[in-house]
Structure 1
Amino acid sequence: MAKVSNLPIEVAGVFVNPGERRRIEIPVAKLPTGTSLTLPIMVVNGAKPGPTVWISAAVHGDEVNGVEIIGRVLEKIAPRELAGCLITVPIVNVFGFNAQSRYLPDRRDLNRSFPGLERGSVAARLAFLFMQEVVLKCQYGIDLHTGSNHRTNLPQIRANLHDEETRRFSEAFGAPVIMHAGAIDGSLRKAATDAGIRTLVYEAGEPLRFDDEAIQLGRDGVLRVLQALGMRATAPRPRTKHSALIAKTSWVRAFNSGILRLDVKLGAKVSAGQQLGMVADAFGDDAAPLIAAEEGIVIGHTNNPLVQQGEAVVHLATMAPDGSEATLPEVDPEGRPVVEP
């Protein structure tokens, strides 16, 4: 399996020559109606030698920001100017995307199903296909995500920052914050890392909504990574000189059930003891404040005003001192260690 560009690259039996851009539709399955379902892929094989990189989106079918990011990246990529090969997959979970659902028809999470099985469940088969036809042909990967379940995320990079090369192109992306995160079993990033492929995850925005600022930052970040890998001569300038490094994260939870009135926005810096919002009943009675336990920055929050007792409402991050290493793991809304969306 060739990993050197400036040679024809083969995807699903289709060869893409140097200097060529080609769309490929890989058969995935047939729906109960008999309609064929395919995995759409755009391969841009540069005229000059360089690494092979994949960019994926909609591993969770309702996370649409990444779909638009890939479209905007492709507008800027010309095969004659590209060094290396770019394999883009804007809609990995084609089942969930068509149903506007995070999951697959069997209710499995595709991002807990990698590296997959050739003859396993729907999720396992799709994961296996994606690994074989895309991931294992590459040396680097960028997986694009958003928040889940009515939550929105501040643009952020999650990657293995203990690996020097991964950290280099994670910082090149230029997201407002970056965090070190080990990879959880079943995730695309874990499967790719186990195969020796350096991978980062970009998280920004919310499901089923375009966030133009997050999309623009994502597009620019991808182009900066391609430049850092020597695949492009130019890239947009980052908005800030350095990304902030996250040392740890925590969730602020609702003390009671009710209607949320949030007082903070994504990216807001908060101090210990600051009120972040209020949860009360429909009349404004029985109000309980949401209080930050320590100083930090808001990297995520729910957009659903109806919350339950104990529900994770605001995601706070503590910044690491300059020059220090990040010390996750982070925890999910249920308080369990988690490292992937």
Structure 2
Amino acid sequence: MRSLKPIVIFGESILPGENKTINVEMARLHTTTKLNIPIIVRRSKLDGPVVLFSAGIHGDEINGIEIVRQLISKKINKPKKGTIICIPIINMYGFVNKSREFPDGRDLNRSFPGSKTGSLASRFAFHILTEVMPLVNYAIDFHAGGASRFNAPQIRLTENDAELKILADVFNAPFTLYSKNILGSFRNSSEKLNVKMLLFEGGKSLDINIDVANEGVNGVKRILKHLDMLDPKHHTERQKSASIYIEKSHWIRAKCSGMLHDNNTIGTFVKKGTILATITDPFGKFERKVKAPNDGYVINANHSPIVYEGDAIYHLSNTLIAEKPEKNNKVHSGMIADFNNFSQS
């Protein structure tokens, strides 16, 4: 079935079979320098869904930006049918400043649905939500852990949504977490527009990790194949073990301040009492072990060398839905067993 109807984004018309990059200027730097946000649109001549891949809503979460960049550079965003919209960097201000927030100090991912006459972050949120999201059927928004906290690759979705559950299964990230929508978030506002959005978390801020990027790109290819949108020339890797669903989890917090010596358990299944890290003072007076309070998977680890009492240092599952851990206790056959060795600055 051929679609003859153009779609319009920020006043730009994109016809079936057309590729277009729309450079959106919502505001300028204080030097009056233009700061454009490229929106890359590729349409097939055949009718089909509209899918959005976005990243950089927090400007320092580079790993998500790298995933969307690869989708474009490898031409995975060229659909067999339908339309693929890529926004590699939503928060261009944060990206330029290597910062999570907007220049006004606001978190864009707490500013939705936004306002046409509100703060700078609020105006951005408003325009993305009104100009782009009404066209979209499915979306994946890519994130990374903040403040030196490294997330094992994971999909987050709301509970009790059968279609999202199917999409999460198809994406097949190492972990899948049920998490409620947060008021003011992009995901929450998109859901109200009936957009089926998955949220991907992987890696940490101001870092590019090869394994995390591969997980994101391969998951996208599986989603596009499921929607019959993937160009046949793109090979989808054979799925490994099924995603491990985590219903409940909790943070382990530092009981004292000091230097954190991480034992690299990210992505692994640990038993109660496993030593996850040691906290020391810089003067050789004490060493305090951080132990797992229960059996579970380590889905986030703080990679900061210095922590303060009360800092979140490990995110550990405590209720698992799905299979038992594999013999080597590694997720996806050890693919994410040692992220530190693959981290690139």
State if a TM-score over 0.5 links the two structures: yes
Per-residue deviation, 1:239: 4.2
* Aligned residue identity for 2:150: T
Residues 1:241 and 1:233: Cα distance change in structure 2 (over 3 Å):
farther
1:84-117 Cα distance to aligned partner (Å, 9 max, x none): 1111100000111111100001110000001110
Deviation at 1:36, TM superposition (A): 1.6
Alignment of structure 1 residues 49-88 onto 2, 5 Å = 49-74=47-72, 75-77=74-76, 79=78, 82-88=80-86
8 Å CA contact retained: 1:174, 1:238: no
**Counterpart position of 1:296:** 296
* TM-score (norm: length of structure 1): 0.89
Give me the whole-angstrom Cα distance separating, in 1, the residues matched to 2:322 and 2:65: 34
Residue 95 in structure 1 maps to residue 93 in structure 2: yes
Mapped contact 1:169–1:229 kept (Cα < 8 A): no
Which secondary structure does the structure 1 equivalent of 2:285 belong to? coil
- Cα distance in 1, alignment partners of residues 75 and 318 from structure 2: 35
User: Cα gap change, 1:265/1:226 in structure 2, threshold over 3 Å: closer, same or farther?
Assistant: same
SS in 1 for 2:245: strand
Select which of 198, 211, 214 maps to 1:213: 211
Confirm or deny that 1:240 pairs with 2:240.
yes
Deviation track 1:281-323 (CA, whole Å, cap 9, x = no partner) reads: 1133222211111101111111111010111111112352339
**Cα distance, 1:230 vs. partner?**
2.3
Contact 1:161 1:179 (8 Å CA) reproduced: no
CA RMSD of aligned residues (A): 1.7
1 CA distance for matches of 2:212 and 2:21? 26
Gaps of 5+ in 1: 324-341
What is the SS of the residue equivalent to 1:273? coil
The CA distance in 2 between the partners of 1:112 and 1:30, in whole Å, is 22
Counterpart contact for 1:45–1:84, Cα < 8 Å? yes
How many Å separate the matches in 2 of 1:78 and 1:240? 24
Output aligned runs, 1:189-204, within 5 Å. 189-204=187-202
Decide whether the 8 Å contact of 1:295 with 1:318 is kept in 2. yes
- Residue 188 of structure 1 deviates from its aligned partner by 0.3
* Cα distance change of structure 1 residues 67 and 6 upon mapping to structure 2, 3 Å threshold: farther
Counterpart amino acid of 2:152? Answer: L
Q: CA deviation at 1:237?
A: 2.4
Deviations along 1:198-232, one digit per CA (max 9) or x if unpaired, are 10100000111110110111011111111112222
3-state DSSP class of the match of 2:25?
strand
- Flag structure 2 segments of 5+ consecutive residues without an equivalent: 324-345
1:268 alignment counterpart: 268
Q: Distance in 2 between matches of 1:316 and 1:122?
A: 36
How do 1:27-66 and structure 2 match up within 5 A? 27-66=25-64
Aligned pair partner of 1:142 in 140, 155, 158: 140
Aligned length in residues: 319
Partner SS, residue 146 of structure 2: coil
Greater alpha carbon shift after TM alignment, 206-215 vs 285-294:
285-294
Do the aligned partners of residues 318 and 236 (structure 1) sit closer, same or farther apart at CA in structure 2, a change above 3 Å counting?
A: farther
Deviation at 1:238, TM superposition (A): 4.5
Pair 33,207 (structure 1): closer, same or farther in 2 beyond 3 Å: same
**Residue 305 (structure 1) aligned with residue 305 (structure 2):** yes
Question: How far apart, in 2, do the equivalents of 1:135 and 1:321 lie?
Answer: 32
What is the TM-score of this pair, normalised by structure 2? Answer: 0.88
